[in-house]
Amino acid sequence: MAFFYISSSKLALLVLLCFTASYLLHCSAHSDHHGRHPHYASHNYRHALTKSILFFEGQRSGKLPPNQRVTWRRNSALSDGSALHVDLVGGYYDAGDNVKFGFPMAFTTTMLSWSVIEFGGVMKGELQNARQAVRWATDYLLKATAYPDTIFVQVGEAGSDHACWERPEDMDTPRSVFKIDKNTPGTEVAAETAAALSAASLVFRKSDPTYSKLLVRRAIRVFEFADKYRGSYSDGLKNIVCPFYCSYSGYQDELLWGAAWLHRATKNPFYLHYIQRNGQNLGADQSDNTFCWDNKHVGARILLSKAFIVQKLQSLHDFKSHADNYICSVIPWTPMSQAQYTPGGLLFTMSDSNMQYVTSTSFLLVTYAKYLTSAHMAVNCGGVLVTPKMLRNLAKKQVDYLLGDNPLKMSYMVGYGTRYPQRIHHRGSSLPSMVVHPTKIQCSSGFSMYNSQNPNPNILVGAVVGGPDQHDNFPDQRSDYEQSEPATYINAPLVGSLAYLAHSFGQL
């Protein structure tokens, strides 16, 4: 990602937005919240699903396969890891730059896997593409965790990388490798990596059982390391990972999240006991209501609530209550609402990459609605009954806004609809491809394109950008990384929501 960080002032704003009961939206989400989906869809969710998965091919690092569909990309970073004599080729660039950040890459993998776990059964022809997108990440995470009690968590130096505007194929900035180990622990990224490997093991359980078993075995080992050697990677690697992907929420949420995924993947009672024994200490009952690459509390609550709602595990009853509290906090027409919405109806959490909160929240809404429906349950929000249909309706409104139902009639997914961002903050997309310009573009030479008003020459199909501001405005400027930069962790949960919507409207 480029120039992305959460400053102390923005963190304060995030906290304020999370805990202040702002009720800005009285109209669009409320007016038909009792209704069913209409019989027609205003969007082609199937096409959007295809594009949302295709985006990941544009973010690939390493040696590209023969069936690569984003053809303006070429091989890149083929010597990654050589600085420490290890193979770290592959994985994803997280956003518009050329660094491989392990923390958001692992979260992306977990959410892409969760999308497939919940909605892969209705993805039809896109299921194989979704699996391949997961595997591109897990193949890399297996390399990054190949040595016991060690995880390679970053390749590339963000400072020097951000000082250049160059294609990944031209990279000449240092590809330094950074790791966590017993002496420099990083519980957040280790536990998130365990979550990613566990979730992915469920994706491949039937289609590739051997690979699935490899993933879950590695997840068990990585989680043991995360739990045994506790410490924040933002402390040990502060100068490397901050301010780009500092962990502000601590590592307790990742331990709970990682244990929840291992419980789901292994059914081993050890992880259930771990959750029961440590849940409160790990913040299971915290009232925060954001879900993102940094904070997993909400996701863990929703995930664990399934074990109570569907599998009737009574010992996890409290997680249903905690999940309900989260749901009530984001539903705008309930007395417990704490969420802020733009005048056009978009959930607004913060100015930096706000669309990540929109896609992650929408996914949690449709997923929780699925769990509730299976048990004929609803949510009581201070005397207001919220049904699964209402949750799906709110999620649909968020996705529809993203796809173009907004005051600007702008699709925030590149390549979808007739009007979408033309100048996204993304190096590879904004510079001429190797096909057109095979000679090297030097580090600083690319800034002439960065500063240009010309549209990006390469369309990064499916990329979802940071999105509009709190007033529904979007300048479409390459320099505006807060609003114009795409990221893998924006797309990953959207894949699941789009699969659900495409199926529910008969498009799949």
pLDDT digits (tens, 9 = 90+) for 273-285: 999 998 888 876 6
Q: What CATH number does the domain located at 45-65+74-505 have?
A: 1.50.10.10
Average pLDDT over residues 202-229: 98
Q: How far is CA 1 from CA 196, 261, 363, 414, 421, in A?
A: 20, 27, 23, 17, 18
Measured on CA atoms in the order 343, 347, 353, 355, is the torsion positive or negative?
negative
Residue 94 sits at φ, ψ, to 5 deg, of -75, -30
pLDDT at 39: 59
Catalytic residues: 425, 476, 485
* CB-neighbour burial class of residue 239 (10 A; exposed 0-12, middle 13-18, buried 19+): exposed
The token duo for 189 is 């990224």
Residue of 289, 182, 293 whose CA lies nearest to 241: 293
Residue 457 sits at φ, ψ, to 5 deg, of -70, -25
The token duo for 24 is 């800005």
Neighbouring-strand partners of residue 347: 341
Binned at pLDDT 50, 70 and 90, residue 406 comes out as very high
Residue of 32, 125, 69 whose CA lies nearest to 390: 32
The pTM assigned to this predicted structure is: 0.92
Determine the number of helices (DSSP H) and then strands (DSSP E) in the chain: 20, 5
Mean pLDDT of the chain: 91
The token duo for 155 is 């390749």
Domain map (residue ranges) of the chain: 45-65+74-505
208 contacts: CB under 8 Å, gap ≥ 6: none
Binned at pLDDT 50, 70 and 90, residue 313 comes out as confident
pLDDT tens by residue, 174-211: 999 999 999 999 999 999 999 999 999 999 999 999 99
Within 404-487, where are the H helices?
427-430, 447-450, 481-484
**Residue 313: left (phi > 0), alpha (psi -120 to 50), or beta?**
beta
pLDDT tens by residue, 485-496: 999 999 999 999
